[in-house]
Amino acid sequence: MTEPRVPSSHSHHDAAQEAAILAGALPYLRRYAGDTIVVKYGGHAMGNADLAKTFGRDIALLKLVGINPVVVHGGGPQINQMLKRLEIPSTFVDGLRVTDANMVDVIEMVLAGSVNKEVAELISREGALAVGISGKDGKMITARKLQRKVRDTESQIERVLDLGFVGEPIKVDPRVIYALSGSGLIPVIAPVGFGEDGATYNINADTAAGAVAGAVHATRLLMLTDVPGVLDADGKLIPELTAAQAMQAIEDGVITGGMIPKVETCIQAVQAGARAAVIIDGRMPHACLLELFTASGSGTMIRAE
Ligand SMILES: Nc1ncnc2c1ncn2[C@@H]1O[C@H](COP(=O)(O)OP(=O)(O)O)[C@@H](O)[C@H]1O
Ligand SMILES: CC(=O)N[C@@H](CCC(=O)OP(=O)(O)O)C(=O)O
């Protein structure tokens, strides 16, 4: 199909600027050529149809320029909606959903079913081929019951919380990811884990993304969410944090709720050898491209030190 050439409605100046932006991406394209970039796409970021389309385009573009994107998606709001419809109440502890045996089936259905296929479709509609799988496929993510320790602020006594079928990844077998990526396909992964004990585990999507990023030695872990990044106590964006500063911010209670697993994941990723992890605003069009291909990153970058 040949596109008709339309005279640019831009002035020469605008056109030159556009070309300059494209040319400016060259050093970044060279830097990331052949690299694996893991993108965590949060359930909140999926809410807006235009943004979702832009996200799909960006991921397709990454593949077409020789980068290997791997998408790990969430679906918290979508799970909430389904549980509400089924009149099943749910609660969260530090951003993790307490998951009983009844809920885990519903959660798997939503995450590995509708949401997974929707995210893959978003990308496939933009000219690259995405394949939706869950952490159970190819035994990719082996998980065990999470032992969440909490310290009582008054007595300082530590105890283990029972969050039910919330899983923590203990092993990631990247073969299915490599098989897909190496065949020109884009893996889209639902955060559901394979339990050696026969159970299926609900894994926080941030945690799953971090585990996958470690296993494939990702150059970057991009965490797309619905806030500008990590905010300080006054609600101002913190552009950069070392792992130690990030831990302190959790300890101080500046970081709460869903931001806790996100930041913990970034810390683990950089400590495991990822060069950097970045929390960016998925509500900003082309958030991934901006972060990877321009000097002016956005959001909060977390580095080892
Ligand atoms: N210090 C903080 N900076 C930014 N967001 C924070 C902070 N503390 C708590 N949050 C909350 O964390 C949420 C992001 O986590 P979450 O809802 O799990 O997003 P996602 O679905 O994208 O994974 C924000 O919407 C915000 O309400
Ligand atoms: C254990 C746990 O909390 N699992 C999450 C999995 C989905 C998720 O993490 O989705 P977001 O990234 O959109 O928040 C949940 O049940 O909501």
Q: Does 11 fall in a domain?
A: no
Q: Residue 166: CB within 6 Å of ligand 2?
A: yes
Q: Does 277 fall in a domain?
A: yes
From 96, 237, 259, the mutation candidate for ligand 1 (largest count of ligand atoms within 8 A of CB) is 259
Ligand 2: distance of its center to the CA of 304 in Å?
25
Tokens of 117: 């296929």
Question: Which of the ligands is closest to the CA of residue 262?
Answer: 1
Q: Does 4 fall in a domain?
A: no
- For residue 173, what pLDDT band results from cuts at 50, 70 and 90? very high
Q: Confirm whether residue 76 is marked as ligand binding.
A: yes
Q: Running DSSP on this structure, what letter comes out for residue 3?
A: P
Q: What is the pLDDT of residue 272?
A: 79
Q: Residue 164: CB within 6 Å of ligand 2?
A: no
The structural domain count of the chain equals: 1
Question: Which of the ligands is closest to the CA of residue 74?
Answer: 2
Q: What is the pLDDT of residue 178?
A: 98
Q: What is the pLDDT of residue 11?
A: 74
Q: Confirm whether residue 80 is marked as ligand binding.
A: no
- For residue 45, what pLDDT band results from cuts at 50, 70 and 90? confident
Ligand 2: distance of its center to the CA of 153 in Å?
26
Backbone phi and psi for residue 202, each to the nearest 5 degrees, phi listed first? -90, 115
Q: Does 19 fall in a domain?
A: no
pLDDT tops 70 at residue 7: no
Q: What is the pLDDT of residue 9?
A: 67
User: Which residues are within 8 A (CB) of 245 and not within 5 positions of it... i.e. 6 or more apart?
Assistant: none
What's the whole-model pTM score? 0.92
- pLDDT tens profile 268-303: 988 877 778 999 998 899 999 999 998 877 899 999
Q: Running DSSP on this structure, what letter comes out for residue 226?
A: S
Q: What is the pLDDT of residue 196?
A: 97
Alpha helices in the chain (DSSP H): 12-24, 26-32, 49-64, 76-85, 101-108, 116-124, 175-182, 205-215, 243-251, 259-271, 287-293
Q: Running DSSP on this structure, what letter comes out for residue 99?
A: B
Shortest-distance Cα residue to atom 12 of ligand 2: 74
Q: For residues 36 and 2, what is the distance between their CA atoms, to the nearest angstrom?
A: 32
Q: Does 175 fall in a domain?
A: yes
| Residue bearing tokens 């931001």 | 259
Give residue ranges with CB within 6 A of ligand 1: 42-45, 74, 76, 95, 206, 225-227, 230-231, 254-259, 262
Q: Residue 190 CB: number of other CB atoms within 10 A? A: 29
Share of the chain above pLDDT 70, in %: 98
ipTM, two decimals, is: 0.93
From 92, 200, 202, the mutation candidate for ligand 2 (largest count of ligand atoms within 8 A of CB) is 202
From 48, 226, 245, the mutation candidate for ligand 1 (largest count of ligand atoms within 8 A of CB) is 226
Q: Confirm whether residue 125 is marked as ligand binding.
A: no
Q: Which atom of ligand 2 is nearest to the CA of 92?
A: 3
DSSP 3-state of 94: coil
Ligand 2: distance of its center to the CA of 76 in Å?
4
Q: Confirm whether residue 57 is marked as ligand binding.
A: no
Tokens of 193: 């884990």
Q: Which domain holds residue 139?
A: 30-303
Cβ burial of 216 (10 Å; 0-12, 13-18, 19+) is buried
Q: Does 290 fall in a domain?
A: yes
Ligand 2: distance of its center to the CA of 92 in Å?
10
- We report the CATH number of the domain holding residue 76 as 3.40.1160.10
Amino acid at 181: S
Q: Does 6 fall in a domain?
A: no
Read off the pLDDT of each residue in 147-156 and give the average, rounded to a whole number. Answer: 83
